[in-house]
Amino acid sequence: MTIYWDRCDLCGQYRPTSKCSLFPEIMVDVHCCFACPHREGKCKTPVWRVETLIQPQVSRKGLSDREKEKLLKELTTLLKTG
Ligand SMILES: [Zn+2]
């Protein structure tokens, strides 16, 4: 899927648009896509989806160097004894 700054064929606003999956000849922005009445019916795979907007966030806190070192030591000890 390619997203680029373009003009929405439906509302005429300059916004990032994507090719409509139901009508490939038109470029649609996220707002019009979400407002589209076909979303609930004919359009099985809307080009704009919630998943495309919400990027999976890697929110897991990284270990500090000290913690890493400790963990590494523990692991090597385990490997040696195992
Ligand atoms: Zn639009």
What number is the average pLDDT over the span 38-56? Answer: 83
How sure is the predictor about 21, in pLDDT bands with cuts at 50, 70 and 90? very high
30 alpha carbon – ligand 1 mean position (Å): 7
Contact 14, 7 (CB under 8 A): yes
Q: What gap in Å lies between CA 27 and CA 21, rounded to an integer? A: 9
Sign of the Cα pseudo-torsion (56, 20, 36, 13, in order):
positive
80 alpha carbon – ligand 1 mean position (Å): 62
Q: Which residue has the higher pLDDT, 81 or 8?
A: 8
What number is the average pLDDT over the span 31-59? Answer: 83
Full-model pTM: 0.57
Whether the predicted pLDDT of 80 surpasses 60? yes
52 alpha carbon – ligand 1 mean position (Å): 17
Burial of residue 13 (number of CB atoms within 10 Å: 0-12, 13-18, 19+): exposed
Joined together, the tokens standing for residue 10 give 């439906």
